[in-house]
Structure 1
Amino acid sequence: MTSYLPNLLIPDTALSVEGITAYIQALLEQDNHLQQVWVTGEVSSATRYRSGLFFTLQDPDAKAAISCVVWNSQLERLTTLPAQGEQLIVLGRIHVHPQRGQYQLIVWQALPAGEGLRALRYRQLRSRLEAEGLFDPARKRPLPVHPQTIAVVTSPQAAAWGDIQRTLRRRYPGLHVLFAPALVQGDQAPVSIGNAIRHVGRDGRADVLILSRGGGAIEDMACFNDERVVRAIAECPIPVIAGIGHQRDETLADLAADVCAHTPTAAAEQAVPQLADLRAAHQERVVALRGTIIDRLQAAQRQQQRLGDRLSKLRLDRKLQQEQQRLDWMRKRLMQGSALQIQQANQHCQSLRQKLATLDPAAVLKRGYAVVRANGTIVRTAQAVAPGQTLDLQLGQGQVTVQVTAVLPQSPENE
């Protein structure tokens, strides 16, 4: 028997099964993309064991499959419990079993495929934008009571544009409406809507902006859940009214807008008041004002009548006579008091005059006294002069000059 060996390069050592399995395990489990990965497929089988739920996820054409496990500690956190035949999108990490030489997906979350993934993305984006405060009620701006210009962002082919025009004309004739066309469906819609909103803001003529489109499938509304549209609404310098879809639909654009009306017609109704309602309210105010004026006039007339009745009951001539008597009595008291004060003042002046006369030096001199001066200084004692000194004597009438011949000592009885 002849054996044939190809001309191969044989290494000195070969990897063991454990070695190559460990190498593969390291490659898979340490890969950043495989440590948290989303996988979509159809559940081909599902079995519940004591440790957890084991199931197989495969492509619809059954060309590829992967084993998955959800441990019991994680089962209650699943949005959807895997069951055979269901289309799922699962989140997990790759794990290698060295003993069996197999890999499997350790699952943390399972969602319905398609709509489930879209809902997850919606929730994640909503949470992030909400954390930034873009949906905060404090950011909501009030709508102008009487806008002069309205801007509308929607598709020119959309029925919503016609509904808005008819509603605005019916409710508020003469309003100036600016139209900013945009795509409201498809991949290019978010960019188109954002550009239209920014164009209205730069234009500066509009008082309020309506962002609108009619109802449709959920996937048709995807552009209004786009972050670019939400930020364009939040950055718009004028209030924004969102009239998107129907009552059952709620988009992130609705949450970011200052007012959410849910339908194009309702958005137009929110933007402007009903002219007929304004007329009716004005008429009500006129009637109320007229009633108030009549009530005030009647009250004033009644008050005037009451005062007239009270006046007619009073005897004015008697009142005037009493007041005249009171004034005469007060005049007499005033005159008596003034006369008494004048008399007391005269008596006081006479007393002062007498005191001044008594103290007058001229009067003293007239009684025989004289004032003696030596060199202009009044001499008060005999010791202040000397024999031979000349003195001036001022008498009651006239003045004489004398010479001292002797200075007599003071007698004891004058001490």
Structure 2
Amino acid sequence: MERDYIDLAELQARLREEIEMSFPERCWVRAEIASVQAKANGHCYLDLSQSEEGRIVARAKAVVWRSRYAALRAYFREATGGDLAAGMEVLLRVQVGYSELYGLTLTVDEIEPRFTLGAAELQRRRTLEKLAADGLLDRQKELEPALLPYRLAVISARDAAGYGDFCRHLTENAYGFVFAVELFEATMQGEDAPASIVDALERVECAPEPFDAVLLMRGGGSALDLACFDDYGLCFAIANCPVPVYTAIGHDRDFHVADQVAYDFVKTPTALADRFIDAFAAEDERISSYGNRLRMAFAARLAAMEQRLVALGDRIRGADPRGVLARGYALVTDARGVVVKSAGALPPGTSFKVMFADGTIEAVTKEKE
């Protein structure tokens, strides 16, 4: 049975003609970068996609030829502070082409970095709105921090300069305070960072011994490098962490959603180290002040007791009969040594003694007047 047909090459040729007729001029295309491959030969290949409601609805391949890639890369880096990376939303000017061998290809000759920055800011605002709607923005603030945070869980890249600065500053503190620090390694930039950091948080929560604080630190970087700290999933995990989370992310000018949902944030890893050193220093000063107060109270108590002893000594000395005798008085006792207080106690013929300061005489009553 005969059927009408066309060759594959003819089909492809007709598709190419139709596409070239439909897109004779270059056009701007909005898409998300699924992957980037910069080759050694100078060309850069992009996998582009578009998602709706969490599922991919379109894919296409794009290329930036070597003749344009160096200039486009420098322009994009100057405007955004970073390179093209997976997960970014981009606005590209492309020439639509079709090859019988390679299919649809978009040749990129221009990029609009302001669109990428705007998309990142829009995503940041959406994250904040969703966290606020879920009641998560201030959940960490309701936690009760440890008075003396000793066991510290650090989430960082092991070879990060900021992590090294933090460890040196903490261990070389002038007071000699000692802390138990454990590193939970994670990817700290790019599209894999949020899931990696969330995994580190889960490992912290499942540790055999509980931690007093979680420290999330990342040194400076471009706005796009640090955009992962505006990710809703990451911020959701921070907000729900049962341990106070402290962040030190980026530069002084940076402020991320992760900073906002954390228990507290500072600008640098060394400032984060100072936060915990200062807590111990304040407690040390408080204890020292108690010691000073105890020493002062004890000294005052001893002085009061000494005064009481001096007064008691004066009273004892004042009541000593020898002191009375030294002033010219005499003490009369009967033969048994009992003090005689009345002349009536010594009838005539009674023996008695008269004590003076310089001696005692014995006498007998002759008569009483």
Query: Please, what TM-score do these two structures have when normalized by structure 2?
Result: 0.49
Structure with the bigger RCO (C-alpha within 8 Å, sep 6+) is 2
Which structure has the larger Rg? 1
Query: Please, what TM-score do these two structures have when normalized by structure 1?
Result: 0.44
